[in-house]
């Protein structure tokens, strides 16, 4: 038997596609700010090209936040975020790191 208190709501999903550059990262940051207090999943699985400055903008917005699950990062981006003080983002995506 489950009650309404037992049912965990689905997280809000923020998705980026294509190139994750500064403008794309700023859009994700705006959406994260608008979702303050909610559980959020940032889905980057459809990103084909990550720019380091875009990842830095994302790091700035993730700093100090809880309840954010980031998916689709490659090894290089995870390392960069950890260097910037953001940890526990999960495992790298299955995508090749050739373009990271």
What digits encode the pLDDT tens for the residues 4-61? 566 667 899 999 999 999 999 999 999 999 998 899 999 999 999 999 999 999 999 9
The three-class DSSP label of residue 4 is: coil
Residue 84: its pLDDT value, please? Answer: 87
Residue 66 has pLDDT above 80, yes or no: no
In a domain, 29, yes or no: yes
Taking the CB of residue 8, how many other CB atoms lie within 10 A of it?
7
Domains of the chain: total: 1
The three-class DSSP label of residue 15 is: strand
Handedness of CA 56, 58, 61, 63 (dihedral sign): negative
Query: For the chain, first and last CA: distance in Å?
Result: 47
CATH code for position 23 = 3.30.750.24
């Amino acid at each position: 038997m489950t009650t309404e208190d037992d049912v965990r709501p689905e997280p809000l999903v923020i998705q980026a596609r294509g190139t994750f550059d500064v403008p794309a990262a700023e859009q994700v940051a705006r959406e994260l700010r608008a979702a303050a207090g909610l559980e959020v999943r940032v889905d980057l699985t459809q990103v084909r090209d990550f720019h380091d400055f875009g990842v830095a903008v994302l790091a700035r917005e993730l700093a100090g936040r809880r309840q954010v699950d980031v998916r689709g990062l490659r090894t290089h981006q995870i390392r960069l975020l950890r260097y910037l003080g953001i940890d526990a983002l999960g495992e790298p995506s299955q995508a090749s790191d050739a373009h990271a």
